[in-house]
Structure 1
Amino acid sequence: MQGYAADRPGGKQLRDLTREQLARYFADTWETYETLFRGVRDSTESYCVRVHPLRLPLVFYLAHTASFYVQKLKLAGLVGGSGEAEFDERMERGVSPEDPDELAGLTEWPTPEKVWAYRKRVRDVVLKAIEEVPLSATVAPRSPLRALLMGIEHENIHLHTSLPLIRLLPPRLKQAPEGWPAIVDERAGAPGAEAPDERFVQCRGGPVRFGDERREADRFRWDNECGRREAEVAPFRVRSHPVTNGQFLEFIEDGGYEESRLWTTHGARLFLDRMSKGHPNAWLRTHSGGYRYRGIFDDIDMPWDWPVEVSRHEAVAYANWAGAALISEEQFHALLNQEFGGVEQVADRIDEFNVGLRFGSPRRVRGGDGAVLGRNGVDFIGNVALWLKDDFTALGKGSFHVDPLYPDFSEPWFGEETGTLAGASYAARGHMADIGVMRDFMQNHMDQLAGILLTRPAQ
């Protein structure tokens, strides 16, 4: 596990890419994903239980990323299949329903042993494809090289979305695998023991411009990142760091989960009635009525000064309770420009931030040994991604083109049931860590490695 992988093909100009670098990047991504799943006990119970009411069992996600490689490489004309047509077809697409009852009938799944054997076959198929794929300085929308890069970056996405699911497994069904990064040991003893900075910092706003209008780019892009958005951002104030676990506790103790007027996102009623436990899924309620932190593999004393990890429903409800708003996509770019000089400057410093699985958890906001602050002291890069104010949409009017290799990646999710994320969490790898370029998105009800950055109008 190489962490961020600075020479990843997705983050460099493709004219400099060698076949050996591509093979290393694939292998590192593949092995990191498998390392995560080796932490799941090798049993049908572990892999076939549904830990989240709106997600499939873990055995599907173990098979899915391998099937995705095969199907996209087939579509690009690079391979004929894996030799396991049933797995190739059945595991390519999952189900992301709005109602838990839609998954009730999906009970037949292959054994973990069969899926691990399938992954071994697919790995050989992909390595063979890397030996034959035409390399080029740009990637056309249907090119074999783009299909290969898409498979790698798709697995980086599923690494990120599988972590919150494995977090929900009972402790007896998982154990931190060898080579997995440890949770950071820097925990405060009680809420408010080391009170975070409560101030709001002025952001001057100004013109922002982001996106990529080129159909053939010299770097990998998802379809929702193609296009151009330009805006003039009005001055605003932003909290100097994401909301912490300690600050979110105040929302809980004030009855935030019972106050229906705060829950304004699409689907919030269903979330509260059928999914919510009255606290974030990264928290565990103790017998004494307190809370512990639920790590991916280990539960620990609550780190009150770490950023809270929540769903979009919870992020918006907290912002409403606090009399503030989530940061918007345009504001995020204005803040990125002001605090760090923009996208390219952040990319040059990416190894300074808590991204790329250098650690197995977030770290303390501001003032901690690992904090990297902007020019005006704002701590907002790394640790957790950030839920944005925006529903997920295309970048610009008329500029969106459906991906010919993956037509249902973005367009089906445009709308109020899906939120947009910016920044990068501690587990963001590859293109997921291309801050200001990657436009991540997720359904409102999914708890992600994502937090809350509040804004208010300028004074």
Structure 2
Amino acid sequence: MPGTPIARSMGRPLLRDLSRQQLTGYFTGTWNTYETLFRGVADAPEAYGARVHPFRLPLVFYLAHTAAFSMRKLALAGLVDQSETSEFDERMERGVSPEDPDELAGLTDWPSTDTAWAYRKRVHGIVLRAIKNVPLSTAVEPEAPLRALLMAIEHENIHLHTSIPLVRLVPSRLKETPQGWPAPVRERRGNPVAFDGGDGFVPCRGGPVRFGDPDIEADGFQWDNEWGRRETEVAPFAVAPHPVTNGQFLRFVEDGGYEKADLWTTHGAQLFLDRVSDGVPNSWLRADAGTYRYRGVFADSDMPWDWPVEVSRHEAVAYANWAGATLLSEEQFHALLDQEFGGAGQVTDRIGDFNIGLQHGSPRPVRARGAVLGRGGTDFVGNVALWLKDDFTALDADTFRVDPLYPDFSEPWFGRETGLLAGASYAARGHMADIGVMRDFMQNHMDQLAGILLTRPAP
């Protein structure tokens, strides 16, 4: 299954030095990476036409969706003539995120994969033409055509990150690693009991933290939930030296964690247990004699017990409850960045040193050889994003304003059914890799390339 080599793309391009050539390369690299993911899936109804996750639409929708989103936003900003738009754009732009998976049962009229690929080819040419004509600027107002174009690109990066867990669920006989996709990490060290948290929590002094950018015309793209500023004082706390590993999570599974109702305290947890969960993370496969294998994006393998576990928010909170700990808050995450790396800006300057941006096709062992550790020996940047304990809300409720180009991006998701994430996973690209700025979020029941970092009160 041919593909296009993955272009390295860590963070968002800055407007102050943005050229048309750079914008073209950024778009093309992002677009090709997304398509490469889907080229690893066989063109078969049970691969593209089936719902591999109870709360998600078939893969063929997501193949066409990001292109339709681009068409709609560029038309809204005046970069595409209305005569070039169609009902297909509108139909493929809007997904469905139901409260109950039965709401998706009647949605069966999807395009063929040939139609979706042809549509993407057409839209690709339209976006390239828009790049030639879009006015460039060192700052962008919320409705500026350049911002609409950047939004289309960053939306593709978001869906790369959310589509990888869906491709993971496609049966392995219906996929193979496409040409150009990075290989998973082969390094293994340790066993299920080697990572039990006994190496001690790291103290974090807390203190004043400030994050966010009140300037909505800042030097780079931002989503509306990132507009604003938050300043607060963080009490001292202790944090685990690395995210919870598959080996650590095995103990939760073997202790019957999925059957202990009192641990599952997130909104919608019972529905998740009844309709989604198989009693292990979706990144695991049950093997013979009670053993487990790792479900990779394109190929299964022996379980990497020393990699961070990848789970839904429901599972992250249940594990933390079982361990007698909590997840990080957003403010604690920024306090930890400040203490361990000197702030988000210092992490950005070294972003290529972390397992981010599809340098590898998988996580790698926690505290791996060559891993960049914080000053206290923490390993929490890259590999997986981190579920926070916070429900998803505005950065600053008093100054929040809905994005005029995308009014339903974040506000409809504020609430207890949606969790907030921080950091960046091995597959985070573009703005998704902008640690300390990107405020990612996802419904509680969706497994993500996200893991668990435990905190406890300061001793």
Same fold (TM over 0.5): yes
AA in 1 matched with 2:450: A
After TM superposition, give the deviation of residue 273 of structure 1 in Å.
Answer: 1.1
CA distance in 2, matches of 1:370, 1:430: 23
* Alpha-carbon offset, residue 214 of structure 1: 1.2
Q: Distance in 2 between matches of 1:442 and 1:329?
A: 15
Within 5 Å, which residues of 2 pair with 1:187-202? 187-188=188-189, 190-193=191-194, 198-202=199-203
Q: Using the alignment, how far apart are the partners of 2:17 and 2:438 within structure 1?
A: 21
Q: Indicate the SS of the match to 1:232.
A: strand
SS at the partner of 1:211? strand
Classify 1:11/1:210 alpha carbon distance in 2 versus 1 (closer, same or farther; 3 Å): farther
Q: What letter is aligned with 1:363?
A: R
Pairs within 5 Å for 1:223-234: 223-234=224-235
Quick check: 2:190–2:306 contact (8 Å CA) kept in 1?
Answer: no
CA distance in 2, matches of 1:61, 1:82: 24
Q: Is the 8 A contact 2:6 2:180 kept in 1?
A: no
The answer on whether the counterparts of 1:187 and 1:301 sit within 8 Å (CA) in structure 2 is: no
SS at match of 1:419: strand
Verify the 8 A CA contact 2:73 2:152 in the aligned structure 1: yes
- After superposing the two structures, state which structure 1 stretch, 69-78 or 188-197, moved more: 188-197
* Distance in 1 of aligned mates of 2:387 and 2:8: 22
SS in structure 2 opposite 1:303?
A: coil
Which aligned pairs between 1:293-308 and structure 2 lie closer than 5 A?
293-308=294-309
Letter of the 2:216 counterpart: R
**Within 2, Cα distance between the matches of 1:198 and 1:98?**
41
1:86 Cα offset (Å) = 2.5
Q: Is the 8 A contact 2:212 2:395 kept in 1?
A: yes
For 1:278-293, what aligned pairs fall within 5 Å after superposition? 278-293=279-294
What TM-score, normalized to structure 2? Answer: 0.97
> 1:309 is matched by which residue type in structure 2?
E
Task: Name the residue aligned to 1:48.
Answer: 49
Are the aligned partners of 2:252 and 2:322 in contact in 1 as well (CA < 8 Å)?
yes
Q: CA deviation at 1:198?
A: 3.4
Task: Note the C-alpha offset of 1:195.
Answer: 6.2
Match of 1:369 in 2: 369
Give the distance between the partners of 2:305 and 2:8, measured in 1 at CA.
27
Quote the residue 2:354 is aligned against: 353
Distance 1:38 1:18 in 2: 30
- Residue in 1 that maps onto 2:411: 411
Report the residue type matching 1:268 in the other structure: A
Letter in 2 for 1:391: D
The answer (yes or no) to whether the contact 1:84–1:118 under 8 Å persists in 2 is no
SS state of the match for residue 239, structure 2? strand
Which range is displaced more, 76-85 or 52-61? 76-85
Task: Quote the offset at 1:215 in angstroms.
Answer: 2.6
What's the secondary structure of 1:347's corresponding residue?
helix
Rounded to whole Å, the distance in 1 between the matches of 2:33 and 2:139 is 27
| Identical amino acids, percent of aligned pairs | 73
Alignment check: 8 A CA contact 1:44 1:112 kept: no
Q: Alignment partner of 2:334: what SS?
A: helix
1:369-419: CA deviation from partner (whole Å, max 9, x where unpaired): 242100110000000000001000001131110000000000000000000
Q: Is contact 1:70-1:81 (8 Å) kept?
A: no
1:35-114 pair list within 5 angstroms = 35-81=36-82, 83=84, 85-114=86-115
Q: Which residue of 1 aligns with 2:33?
A: 32
Give, in whole Å, the separation in 2 of the partners of 1:298 and 1:32: 18
Q: Which residue identity is paired with 1:453? A: L
Amino acid at match of 1:411: E
Q: In structure 2, what is the equivalent of residue 186 of structure 1? A: 187
Q: Give the residue type in structure 1 aligned to 2:373.
A: L
Quick one: which amino acid aligns to residue 447 of structure 1? D
| 2:453 equivalent in structure 1 | 453
Q: Secondary structure at the match of 1:51?
A: coil
Matched residues, number: 455
Q: Matches of 2:201 and 2:83 in 1, distance apart?
A: 54
Show the counterpart of 1:215.
216
Q: Could you tell me which residue of structure 2 aligns to residue 269 of structure 1?
A: 270
Output one character per residue of 1:59-116: Cα deviation in whole Å (capped at 9) or x when no partner.
0000000000010001111112584613211001100111011000001110000110
Instruction: Supply the distance in 2 between the matched residues of 1:197 and 1:148 (Cα, whole angstroms).
Output: 48
**Which letter does structure 2 place at the counterpart of 1:16?**
D
Residue 5 of structure 1 aligns with an amino acid whose one-letter code is S
1:327 equivalent to 2:354? Answer no
Distance change >3 Å, CA 59–CA 237, structure 1 → 2? same
TM-score, scaled relative to structure 1:
0.97
Point out 4+ residue stretches in structure 1 off by more than 6 angstroms: none
Quick one: distance in 1 between partners of 2:78 and 2:226?
25
CA distance in 2, matches of 1:336, 1:411: 27
The whole-number CA distance in structure 1 between the counterparts of 2:359 and 2:92 is 30
**Is the partner of 2:142 in helix, strand or coil?**
coil
Q: Give the distance between the partners of 2:279 and 2:351, measured in 1 at CA.
A: 35
Question: How many Å separate the matches in 2 of 1:302 and 1:309?
Answer: 12
CA shift at 1:355, angstroms?
Answer: 0.4
Shift of 1:181: 0.6
3-state DSSP of counterpart to 1:167? helix
1:390 paired to 2:390: yes
Instruction: Name 2:427's counterpart in structure 1.
Output: 427
